[in-house]
Structure formats: structure tokens, C-alpha cells
Amino acid sequence: MRKIMMIAAFAGLLGGCSASAPENPFFTEWETPFGVPPFDLIQVDHFEPATLKGIETQRAEINTIADSPETPTFENTIETMDRSGTLLAQVRNVFGALNGALTNEELQGIAKRTAPLLSKHRDETLLNEKLFARVNAVHEQRENLGLDAEQMRLLTETHKRFVRGGANLDPSRKEQLKALNEELALLSVQFGENVLKETNQFELVIEEETDLAGLPSGVIAGAAEDAAARGHEGKWVFTLNKPSLIPFITYSERRELREKLFKGYIDRGDNGNELDNKEALTRMATIRLERARLLGYDSHAHFILADNMALEPQNVYELLGEIWKPALERAKEEAAEFQAMIDAENPGDKGFKLEAWDWWYYAEKVKKARFDLDEEMTRPYFEVNAVREGMFDVAEKLWGLKFIERPDIPVYHEDVKAFEVTEADGTHVAVLMVDYFPRPSKRGGAWMSSFRKEYKIGGDRIAPVVFNVGNFSKPTADKPALLSLDEVSTMFHEFGHGLHGMLSQCTYRSLSGTSVARDFVELPSQIMENWAVEPEVLAMYAKHYETGEPIPAELVTKIQNAQHFNQGFATTEYLAACFLDMDWHTLTDTENVRSNSFEKQSMERIGLIKEIESRYRSPYFRHIFAGGYSAGYYAYVWAEVLDADAFQAFKETGDLFDKKTALSFRTNILERGGAAEPMELYKEFRGKEPGIDALLARKGLK
């Protein structure tokens, strides 16, 4: 019965409105376990009217605050404003989740129509002169109000949000700001939609079995299933989704096919067709610069970083440069080693120069030769459900958390599993949903978000509903989903974000969970990656999917021995994208900027070798042009400094699950959300600011 209901929900979301036009579920109380969204009742045509109603309702709430004849207080202005917009948040959370993980043309159309409206609504709120006057009045009296630390944080962050949103601008500049924000919102939606469409449209169809040379049997089986699903029965299809792309460029012996698939990936948004993103992204860079200048900043990066731990662009460039130099030198050594193997395999005039589409292939061959290790040796020990349970076991050993699968909780797709999360004593903490396999309706990558954030009313905690999404290797007809080491790390990473959302203990919704500085939010996620491949943890969950035998000690040793291998590549391809992001957003003149030439100059300036492509090229760099990471992609490496140092706190105790250290991390980091300055929270946990040494040592760059 449950499967029928899930399929019906899936069909309803794809199919749009029904003849019976049932009552919009967003306008009624949800009688579901823990108040999760009733996905079996929600249809596409419910979202737009619910969004409009949500805007209307919050506008009325805001106007009531702004027009109040009462003297402004923290309670009647700041706190009441934080409580507003419940309906709109509910609708946008569900819509955002489905448009990212289960999209279709109807949802994409709604996104385009509502993006300018939502931008306008946000601007109307932040540019409301009467409302800002009340906020400002409370802010000026902040030292005399007897506020606790979280209340003070909410007040200062609210005031800052108004100022950064243009509240101090004159009327004409406010109108300019509104226009820029509306255009930017629409361009961002279109950019992301174009990337998804280009990703889905590309397929490498293989007709001859000889062209599968070198590929593992599981990869071949998956390609055959993809081919059948796409109408190519009896053939094999490889796509630009990572679980298809990465194994192919890692193992395929057909160099020309590796090149074709690799170029299909890096040319997304840059094909001169209707999905080309180059003009859109340069326009977005221009809009961001114009907006920053309206608000009194030299560049978009200056505007963004003023509200983050890095504070200013120079600090980011210095951090990137400190890691770039040793990483680039290591990458050059790696390239030389791979070229030596190519030359040895192809004597005389049969040789060729290493290219970007060769890197993964020769990295795997050298790793196999040096460490007797390749991905196919480890995959059988990383069955997706076993990894998930191992991840849950880590959380239980650290904090006593229990994860109970709940088939009665509605989900939005049959691949999704739902869990109730409790304390050791059974107290309800949260709901966690996990959605791990790729499909054409899901954008690439992995992420965490919430259907409902945590907050408190009258001291009562409203428990969060959190979800993790991935695009991991999926099961085939004869094998379960077997993950790569990288996919295992990604699962733990997103679970860390999930813990940040689930364990939140904040009073105010706008401060709870992951509502923190962009360059701090990756700390809880990245620290979890450390546990994933510790020998003690591998022994808990890494068991052969067929025999149940634990991963052999000698294989674990090989994994450890190879942990620094290819770190030059891994670090430089990521840092190159960080530099590219910063270069786009430190621009002070965009008049003659052209995407491809600008990108080329950016990479030449840092000396990226031609054998390595930046992790993201501009036309498909969703993080910065269709996500929240503009002038912020460096956040991962900033947080790596934090997480390497933070995990060292556990290592120093001699116990990866030291209860005192785990409790400190929970109470000072995971529970606090944005209730204090990030570095204050970190120092409360660690007792000091972090240094870069632990990160360089972990990467083998020191």
C-alpha cells in the first residue's frame, strides 16, 4: 500500500492538477507523523497560489508591525518579525526541495514566475521605511534592554540584514536595487535550469562491446540499464552524472571516448545554443557589482565577505595562496609521474601528452601500481545501506542518537527513506530523510536542507524535518548500490550538515541550524568526513555486501597509505574554482568582460597546469551563479582549516568518540546555530583559534 501511495504522489507531482481540484494542503494543518509534508496530497498546481498567499500573509504581518502605534520593543518588533512568514517558509521549503530533487517543466515554470515576486517581497520588507525605523529604534537601545545573548544576536543580525538590504539608501537608489535584485533572481533560476538540461541532454551511446574495454562489470551493467531506460536497448549509455562519468574516465581504455565524455561535462553551458550561460553569468557579475556599489562596497566580494569570517577578499586570497603553492608543486610532480607511465606504455611515436581527460585514468593506474589499490577493490565493502548505518552508528557513539526507519512517514519519491531521530532516552529530536540516487529530475551534486527548521515557541521546541540528497552509484539488476570512497565521504559530509540542522537548540528560526556564516557552515559537514575512513570506524560498517566479511586490515592499510596520493590534483582543481569565483566577484569593471577569456586569464594568473581543469568552469558553476556561494566557494577550504583542527581535538584524547569532546562540539557548535559569532563558538569548543598546519599535514602538503 505504501509503495502505491508513493508512486501516486510521484505521479501527482509530475502530472500537475487533477480534475477534482482538491483543497490546497498548504492551507490546512498537516495530519502526518511529526507534521512532515503530505506529499501524497501536494500537487504542482498547489505551489503558486500557496506562494502568493504566503507573500500576502507575511506582507500583512509586516505591515502590522510597521504600522503599530506601540513604542518599538524587542518583542513587538524584532521577535514578532522573526515569527512572521510561517506559511511562506513552509511552501518555499517544500517547493525548493522538489524543484531540486524532483523537478519538471511545471515546477521550473513556477520558479521563473515566482522568483521576481519573492525578490520584490524581500525588498519591500527590507526597504520598508516605517519598519526599519522601528528596528533601528530598538537597535539603538540594545545595551539597555536586558537581552540575553541569543536575543542580542537576533537584534544585531536583523538590523544588519536591513542595512545590507538597502534600508539606508535614498528612494531612487532603492528602486535601482529592487530592479537589480529581481533581474538577478530570474537569471539565477535560468542558469540552474540550463545546467540541468544540458546535463540531461548529453549521452555517450556505445554500440560496440569492444568500446567498453577496461570498465568494471558493475559500470557496464549500469550503462546497459541507462541505455534501456533511454530507448537504446542492447547498447550502453554514459551520462554526465558523476556515478556514470567518473568510473568511465577512470577506467575506460578508449582515450577518444574519455575525451568526448569529459568535454561534454566541462562544456556545459558553453555550447552556443539556447542553453548557453555565458551572457547570463557575465550579466549576473555586472548586477552584483552594481548592487555592491549601491550599498557602498568596492565589489560583490567585499559585500559578501563583510558578513563572513574572512571579512575581506585579501584574507581569502592569502589563505588560497598559502595552500596553492605546495599543492601546485605536488600536482606538477603527479603530472610528470603520469606522463612517465604514458611514455613507458607508448614508446616511439605512439606516445601522447597527458591531457585533462587522461588524469583520472592514469591516476588510477599509478595508484594501483604503487599501492595495489583501486576503487573496485573497496566498492564491495561500501554498500549504501551499510554505509548509512555506519554513519548513524558514529552519531550514536558520539551523542547517543538513535535513527529509526519510519515507513509511515510520507516521502516525495520511492527512493527516499525517512527516519525518526531520538536521543538515547527516546526523546524526539528530528526527522531525517535521505535521497541518494541520481535521476533526470534531480540536479547534480549533493546537499542538505530542511522542510522545517528548528525553533522554539514559549520554550517548546519545534523539531526540524531535515533531508540529505545525493547522486551516488545506484543499484543494478544484480548488485546493490556500491559506493566509491569519495561517495562515502560525501554521504558523511551531508550528514554533518544534517546534524547541524537536527541538533539545533535555538529559539529563533532565522538563527537556527545552518543559518550561519557561509565559511562556517561547512565545519559540521567536513568534520564528519574524518570519521568515515578511520580504521576503527571502517570496522563498524565496511563489510562485503555478499559475504558479510569485514574489510580486510591490509585493504584498510592500503587506503591509509594512499590517502595523500593525488592530493596535488584534488587540491588544485578545487582551489582553481575558488580563485575563479573570487576573480569574478572582485571585479570593479565588467564592461568588456567575456566569460571564456576572463576564465582563461584567471587560470593563467595562478599558473594552473593545462593537464588539470578547474573543478567548475564558469558556465556550469552552479554554486556561485545558481546557489548561495558567490564569493564564497572558498568556504570549503576555510572550513577545512577548522575541521582539521577540530578533529585533532578528538585525536588528542586518544579516543575518536571521546564523550567530553563530543559533548563540547555538540553544545558549542551543532546546537548553537548562528546564535553567536562563529569564531567565538569555535574558541568555546577548542579553546583557541585554528591554525593551518593540521590541514597541510592531512593533505600531505607539509
Q: Which residues does the annotation mark as catalytic? A: 494
347: buried, middle or exposed (CB in 10 Å: 19+, 13-18, 0-12)? exposed
Give the number of other Cβ atoms within 10 Å of residue 657's Cβ. 16
Q: Angle at which helices 356-371 and 255-266 pack, to 10 degrees?
A: 120
Greatest Cα-to-Cα distance within the chain, rounded to the nearest angstrom: 88
Q: Residue 43 to residues 15, 37, 50: CA-CA distances in angstroms?
A: 8, 12, 11
Q: Please state, in angstroms and rounded to a whole number, the distance separating the CA atoms of residues 590 and 587.
A: 7
Contacts of 250 (CB under 8 A, 6+ apart): 360, 361, 363, 364, 375
Q: Residue 464 to residues 54, 58, 431, 456, 501: CA-CA distances in angstroms?
A: 20, 21, 7, 11, 7
Q: Give the phi and the psi of residue 428 in degrees, each rounded to 5.
A: -65, 135
Q: Please state, in angstroms and rounded to a whole number, the distance separating the CA atoms of residues 255 and 353.
A: 12
Residue with cell 572558498: 634
SS3 sequence, 492-559? Answer: HHHHHHHHHHHCCCCCCHHHCCCCCCCCCCHHHHHHHHHHHCCHHHHHHHCECCCCCCECCHHHHHHH
Q: Residue 611 to residues 148, 290, 320, 348, 518: CA-CA distances in angstroms?
A: 55, 36, 20, 22, 31
Q: Please state, in angstroms and rounded to a whole number, the distance separating the CA atoms of residues 278 and 284.
A: 10
Q: Please state, in angstroms and rounded to a whole number, the distance separating the CA atoms of residues 54 and 89.
A: 8
Q: Do the beta carbons of residue 8 and residue 38 sit within 8 Å?
A: no
